[in-house]
Amino acid sequence: MATRVSVAAAAATFLLLLLLLPVSNSIISHSHRSAALHLFSPAPASLEDAYEALRVFQILGIEEENNAHASTATCQKVLENLGSSSLLKDLFYALKVNKILKCNVNGEGFEDIASRLKTTVHVSSNLLDIYYSIGGLVLIKDQDSNVDVLLADADGVFQSIKALSQSDGRWRYSSDNPESSTYAAGLALEALAGVISLASSEIDQSKDNILKNDIVKLFDGIEKYDDGTFYFDEKFVGGHVRQGSLSTTSSIVRGVTAFAALPENKILGLAKFFLGVGIPGDAKDFFNQAESLAFLESNRQVKVNTVLGSAAPPLTVKLHRAFSTDTKDSAIVDSKELQYNQEGGFHFLDAFLKNLDVGTYVFVFEIVLHDSGSEKVYATGGQLHVPIFVTGIIDVGNAEISVLNSNLGSAETQKKLDLSGNGAVSLSENHLQKLKLSFQLKTPRGHVFKPHQAFIKLRHETKVEHVFVVGDTGNKFEIILDFLGLVEKLFYLSGRYDIELTVGDAVMENSFLRLLGHVELDLPEAPEKAARPPPPSVDPNSRYGPKAEITHIFRAPENRPDQKLSLAFLGLIFLPFIGFLVGLDLFTTLKTFGLLGAFLMFAGHRILSHIALTSAKLKSA
């Protein structure tokens, strides 16, 4: 029975890496360069800030600014922090900066630092301390091969880090803290990858399998948007600073890529998450985005194996054909062979296609077995069609809005629009005039771009909305609204209309919804039988939301007689009964009760009248 060779899963990885072509184009753009120069100070406050700036400039290829940061003052700060009394975090970032700037650090300094870091690794139970120490040893290994940084008890260190892991793939920061963190998982994986590289003897293969299982559990908890975007969110609520989705996802990408390849079915979604951020306004977010995309972009590979995961026979993977979905008959490449990496066992594209532009493509792969006899054992499955989405920043220009005379077609009012800014225009028209809007869209390679949707919305001050599709004239987008023919559609409603433009596409990274301004329309009176505008939609909050607070003032209580006076009257009332009880006959008691009642009625009436009169005088005053 023949064994089928599958490249489906691996092609998904390749899909991402081709998708990441615009990462290079769009990240190394004028906007990103300007933002980087603005966000990262030439005189950073800490070595952590200095490293992040240097790393971003390195990724973006900004050599001049990189040299500006490579100043004597920065190297001096590195040398000061490579001492025995420095904090582990400062040592870690000093070594990171030194790897880029190549400051003059002598070998004896590395020996002392390595000795301290190895001691910390073996005695600490704090994940951050272990992370900084392992990371520091790996950096020393890369910068001075003569320094002994190998761990004699790598298995023990591995177990001490693994002891902090949780069943859901997350990690704890220390053995004393029961709370687990997704962000910490990325740090732990990066540290464990460092332990493996520093081991003086080979690590047990079973530990490698355990970590892969932890990664699977970690990705079981990944968050997802409806458009296929994947990201990690921090669920840790303990004493450490809560990390945002961007920094948490970046930590996982760093950790997993340091240890193994990212899951092939998650790479595209992770790339979409980082690309969807746009240009961050915070230096830390900018660094996390740029470095994560750099990690993802470094994986231009296709791995081929059998359906059961066994190694494939000697073969060649070819990109047989690639074409745009808009022009299927015109191929952008024919028969390009992928290179093979012997160490990693994967096939990769050594260079991006120069004629690849923003858009949707289909790449057709095929496998060619080296040994003709293998065709009797293996079936390659024929050609595999893989959809590719190449995203990028679309240039929006030559935008104009005009008021045209209906008869002559000449522009009475014409204004330029800056669709990348927040400027708004104010126009005035009547039903005998037209409104014209036009703009151009171009890809990074200068080709005309046709988005999936482009429409304009007019919103009346009564919240009645009207949507119109913007047409494509070939080299630009244009729409002309003839209000004479639209008066019925607009329900003859004069007044102010807000003008809103929406342009969007799945491959357009800077899709936008922009308020262009407003137009004051003077329309004729509505005929008697003209259609009326629809009733305004009911706001759910007004129906089911919280109601207004009800306030109520209760009437002030009336004045009551003094308690002692009331008790005295009560005693007088009960006095006849007491007399009856002590031996008085019925007639004597009734006579006494009648005389006492007459007295109480007279006296009580006078007293109560006096109290009421006094109360009335106080109220009137």
Tokens of 151: 């761990």
Does the model's pTM come out above 0.85? no
Residues 86, 117: contact at Cβ < 8 Å? no
Q: Which of 218-232, 400-414, 556-570 has the lowest mean pLDDT?
A: 556-570
- Which pLDDT value is given to residue 548? 79
Instruction: Name the pLDDT band for 66 (thresholds 50, 70, 90).
Output: very low
| CA atoms of 400 and 406, how far apart (whole Å) | 18
In sequence order, the 6+-apart residues with CB closer than 8 A to the CB of 447 are 357
pLDDT in tens, 324-381: 888 877 788 878 888 887 776 778 876 667 778 898 888 888 888 888 777 767 767 6
Rg of the chain over all Cα atoms, to the nearest angstrom: 40
The pLDDT of residue 605: 78
Separation between Cα atoms, residue 360 and residue 391, nearest integer Å: 9
Select, from the ranges 125-139, 217-231, 382-396, the one with the highest average predicted confidence (pLDDT): 125-139
| DSSP 8-class letter at 153 | T
Mean pLDDT of 85-106: 88
431-to-247, 407, 438, 481 alpha-carbon distances in Å: 54, 12, 20, 10
Instruction: Show the tokens assigned to 620.
Output: 């009137």
Residues 573, 576, 577, 582, Cα dihedral to 10°: 140
The lowest-confidence range among 70-74, 111-115, 241-245, 494-498 is: 70-74
